[in-house]
Structure 1
Amino acid sequence: MNILRSVWRVADSSSNGKGSIDWAAVSAAAKAATDPGSLDLSTADRDGYASDVRDARERLQAVAEVEFDVPEVIEVQNRHHWIDANVETFHRIMLPLEEHGPTVLPGITRAINTGTFALVLSFLGNNVLGQYDPLLLADGDGDDDHGLYFVEPNIRRVAHSLDVDYPRFRRWIAFHEVSHAAEFGAAPWLSTHLETRMERGIDALVEGDLDRDAFRELDTAMTAVEGYAELLMDRAFDEEYGDLRRKLDERRQGGGPIAKLARRFLGLGLKRRQYERGARFFRYVADKRGVAAASRVWDHPENLPTDDELDVPERWIARVSP
């Protein structure tokens, strides 16, 4: 990471601009601090991505007994491509706070905020492997309202560092991200459900308050999203993958103090707990009633487990799938 170039980009952002974040400078600084990586793929590698996504869709549909389509937008990206795709997402989420949040010393605040988000996007751009993007809070409808991204340089680097077979690791990432596409495809209401909780929480912050219920409901829904994806991975992937999960977890727990601080700041530990808690819930339901019964969680919002039901899945079974 070229930190000096990144700092220069932030310092070069106009302190007189509108908004508390200079998003053009965020993008420029994040990319200045990040090696884009190579997208020099062989024909076999490109065909491999296509077949991985296609096979994941077919196997997940069969296992979950739900119908869904993968996004029209499926991209194999380098790190700069991923940053470009996510700057707008961050901008949409932060816009209410930018427009209505309190501002003290606006010039200094703008530089600090811009630098913070540049570092966040740079860190994520160097570490994200794949992403299903439902484009929350995006305007408009249609085929471009979600996307599926694979950050090829990160996938290849991590496969090498873990000493695992690259095609197998790439396929595992594809199955995981298509699992998320299955959830949002099976539950057309899910994006709106998440958006409304997110908007409530942000609106409360703008007013100087904290809507704990909104964030609790958002956390519960995301726990279901992550846990169900883990269930589908368990049942649909071609082979046992415990070694991949173990090695990747060990890698994430390692790293230097800056990496650990960044993970804590970004709540990546919380995401791991969501995986584990949600997976325990859905594995119990699937073992007792089958995967099709577990998939009923996506029939309508009322079928989402409550916070209590996540820890006592028998209550959810009694309520939704007796």
Structure 2
Amino acid sequence: MIARMMGGDAQGFDPQEIARAAGLPSDPQAMMMMMQQVQAMFSTPSEGPVNWQLAHDHARRVAATDNDPTVSPVQRRSVDEALRLAEMWLDPVTDFPSTGHLGRAWSRAEWVEATMGTWRRLTEPVATSIAKALSETISNQLPEEMKSMMGMMGGPSSILQNIGGAMFGMQLGQAVGALSKDVVGSTDIGVPLSDEHMALLPSNVAAFGQGLDVPEQEVLLFLAVREAAHARLFTQVPWLTGHLLGTIERYARGIHIDMSKIEEAARDIDPTNPESMQAALSQGVFMPERTPEQDAALERLETVLALVEGWVDELTAEATANLPSSSALREMVRRRRATGGPAEHAFASLVGLELRPRRLREAASLWSLLTDERGIKGRDAIWEHPDLLPTAEDLDDPQGFSQRRKLVESSEADVDAALERLLSGGFEAKDTSDDPPEAAGDGSDAVAGSDGGSDGAGGSDDRSGDADDADGGGKPGNPSV
């Protein structure tokens, strides 16, 4: 079975050595019991492509390692006051009103509980595509005798899906649990992870400020302003969250597994050397190959994330201008968001997505320019529709974007004004009162005078009266158009 799955060459494969390297028992009875336990575990269907309960439980366990202290009443009050003050500081620098969301202080375990639903929404499209691709690929590689054996256990597809769901759930739980040790709030990755809440993690905020010559209260206030700014943007721009998730879904639909990479890696594995097996798996052989369409989707995602983080960065700098350490904290956050930490890299390797705004500085410069040119209201109006957002090319040329937007808005304003004038009857007939008179006695229609008379007889021009007399009956002409 291994030979057929890994390229057809079984030479050098010793089943006992493989079992020993994998830590499997040599006793057949113990092996049978283990297989029964594994079968019972994987035969339980999970909800969708991922075993979410397993992911949740493992994330909680990882978050609890390295000490996850509970949040004290003093910390909760401090976070609540910082977020309230942050809302007040933001009011003068943005046209978006306060959200009215409650401020929360979370432990890492509470962060996992509050955000797991969003993680499911973020990763399920990717997990579905990976599970489907992996299941189809491996099913096609299985020998017939193996398929027959799996048929008695529910079929190879269902078994592989359950195994894949459990594996992905464990990996996702590991990644989310690791992220809980790095994040300082509910919007650190540029996507709102919790609805109707602004939140900070006091233990992680304290860790963020370690090594900086900055008072802890200033660090808390600065991060509270960033959290509140994110909350305002995602609340007052209702299409933004769906736009980000839709981009991820478009990326996920094109995932496929390159089986040739797996076969190539298998040829280099020494079954008697567990380190060679780990080295092969660490080369990313299971990572899906990206298509041009996926690259385009990732570019759009990265651009929107940069615009979100750039807008928040600019507002935070304006709102915290009176904080002595504002500039230093701003630079530290910029570097942190642009490079990402180990936990973010682990998440990227899991789902093939890097939720990092590489072009944060360019986006912040663009929003600063738009503030100078349009004012606060005009800058925030850019978020009214996704079609109005700057593109990656616009980040290269902020001045050009501003000029292009002015031309488009000028054209739109002209069309709107003309349409409004048309609907209100503002387009009047041409005034021909000063034109040379037509032959009055031939019964032709009179032209409306300058007073706007439309029947050709009621105008103030004397010629109209003469024409009526000459006509014999003062019969009105047809309305002019």
Q: Normalised by the shorter chain, which TM-score bucket? A: 0.7 to 0.9
Alignment of 1:6-25 (within 5 A): 14-16=41-43, 17-18=45-46, 19-25=48-54
Deviation at 1:227, TM superposition (A): 0.5
Partner of 2:231: 181
Task: Return the alpha-carbon distance in structure 2 between the equivalents of residues 272 and 165 of structure 1.
Answer: 28
Helix, strand or coil at the partner of 1:162: coil
Task: Return the alpha-carbon distance in structure 1 between the equivalents of residues 370 and 200 of structure 2.
Answer: 31
1:55 to 85, 89, 104: 85
1:239 to 311, 323, 330: 323
**Could you give the per-residue CA deviations for residues 39-88 of structure 1, whole angstroms, max 9, x where no partner exists?**
34354x4333222222222221211233241435x321100111122222
Task: Return the alpha-carbon distance in structure 2 between the equivalents of residues 135 and 251 of structure 1.
Answer: 12
**Could you give the per-residue CA deviations for residues 291-316 of structure 1, whole angstroms, max 9, x where no partner exists?**
43322221222221112111211122
Task: Return the alpha-carbon distance in structure 2 between the equivalents of residues 280 and 50 of structure 1.
Answer: 31
Does the Cα contact within 8 Å between 1:60 and 1:182 map onto a contact in 2? no
Return the index of the structure with the highest Cα Rg: 2
Deviation at 1:239, TM superposition (A): 1.7
Q: Does 1:164 align with 2:195?
A: no
Helix, strand or coil at the partner of 1:148: strand
Moved more, 95-104 or 224-233: 95-104
Does the Cα contact within 8 Å between 1:79 and 1:151 map onto a contact in 2? yes
2:370 to 281, 285, 298: 285
Partner of 1:298: 383
Alignment of 1:191-206 (within 5 A): 191-205=241-255
**Could you give the per-residue CA deviations for residues 252-271 of structure 1, whole angstroms, max 9, x where no partner exists?**
89999x66953874899862
Deviation at 1:117, TM superposition (A): 0.9
Alignment size in residue pairs: 304
Does the Cα contact within 8 Å between 1:15 and 1:111 map onto a contact in 2? yes
Task: Return the alpha-carbon distance in structure 2 between the equivalents of residues 69 and 270 of structure 1.
Answer: 25
Helix, strand or coil at the partner of 1:130: coil
Amino acid in structure 1 at the alignment position of 2:301: L
Deviation at 1:272, TM superposition (A): 4.7
Task: Return the alpha-carbon distance in structure 1 between the equivalents of residues 214 and 318 of structure 2.
Answer: 21
For the structure 1 residues 119 and 205, does the alpha-carbon distance in structure 2 shift closer, same or farther, using more than 3 Å as the test? same
For the structure 1 residues 250 and 222, does the alpha-carbon distance in structure 2 shift closer, same or farther, using more than 3 Å as the test? closer
Is the helix fraction higher in 1 or 2? 1
For the structure 1 residues 193 and 52, does the alpha-carbon distance in structure 2 shift closer, same or farther, using more than 3 Å as the test? same
Moved more, 31-40 or 226-235: 31-40
Deviation at 1:14, TM superposition (A): 2.7
Partner of 1:5: none
Partner of 1:141: none
Partner of 1:27: 56
Task: Return the alpha-carbon distance in structure 2 between the equivalents of residues 250 and 191 of structure 1.
Answer: 24
Does the Cα contact within 8 Å between 1:201 and 1:215 map onto a contact in 2? yes
Task: Return the alpha-carbon distance in structure 1 between the equivalents of residues 252 and 346 of structure 2.
Answer: 22
Does the Cα contact within 8 Å between 1:34 and 1:125 map onto a contact in 2? yes
Deviation at 1:26, TM superposition (A): 1.5
Task: Return the alpha-carbon distance in structure 1 between the equivalents of residues 189 and 328 of structure 2.
Answer: 29
Alignment of 1:1-322 (within 5 A): 14-16=41-43, 17-18=45-46, 19-35=48-64, 37-43=68-74, 45-72=75-102, 74-99=103-128, 101-102=132-133, 103=135, 104=138, 105-106=160-161, 108-132=163-187, 145-205=195-255, 210-237=293-320, 238-240=322-324, 241-247=326-332, 262=346, 265=349, 271-321=356-406
Does the Cα contact within 8 Å between 1:309 and 1:316 map onto a contact in 2? yes
Task: Return the alpha-carbon distance in structure 2 between the equivalents of residues 13 and 90 of structure 1.
Answer: 27
Does the Cα contact within 8 Å between 1:96 and 1:202 map onto a contact in 2? yes
Task: Return the alpha-carbon distance in structure 2 between the equivalents of residues 14 and 289 of structure 1.
Answer: 60
Task: Return the alpha-carbon distance in structure 2 between the equivalents of residues 177 and 137 of structure 1.
Answer: 10
Gaps in structure 2 of 5+ consecutive residues: 1-37, 139-159, 258-287, 408-481
Indicate the structure whose relative CO is greater, using CA pairs within 8 Å and at least 6 residues apart.
Answer: 1
For the structure 1 residues 65 and 12, does the alpha-carbon distance in structure 2 shift closer, same or farther, using more than 3 Å as the test? farther
Amino acid in structure 2 at the alignment position of 1:244: L
**Could you give the per-residue CA deviations for residues 175-215 of structure 1, whole angstroms, max 9, x where no partner exists?**
00111122123323322332332333333438996444433
Task: Return the alpha-carbon distance in structure 2 between the equivalents of residues 285 and 252 of structure 1.
Answer: 23
The CA RMSD over aligned residues, in Å, is 3.8
Task: Return the alpha-carbon distance in structure 1 between the equivalents of residues 203 and 39 of structure 2.
Answer: 29
Deviation at 1:96, TM superposition (A): 3.7
For the structure 1 residues 132 and 148, does the alpha-carbon distance in structure 2 shift closer, same or farther, using more than 3 Å as the test? farther
Task: Return the alpha-carbon distance in structure 2 between the equivalents of residues 199 and 292 of structure 1.
Answer: 32
For the structure 1 residues 156 and 268, does the alpha-carbon distance in structure 2 shift closer, same or farther, using more than 3 Å as the test? farther
Task: Return the alpha-carbon distance in structure 2 between the equivalents of residues 253 and 215 of structure 1.
Answer: 16
Task: Return the alpha-carbon distance in structure 2 between the equivalents of residues 318 and 250 of structure 1.
Answer: 30
Amino acid in structure 2 at the alignment position of 1:184: F
Deviation at 1:125, TM superposition (A): 0.6
Q: TM-score of the superposition, structure 2-length normalised? A: 0.54
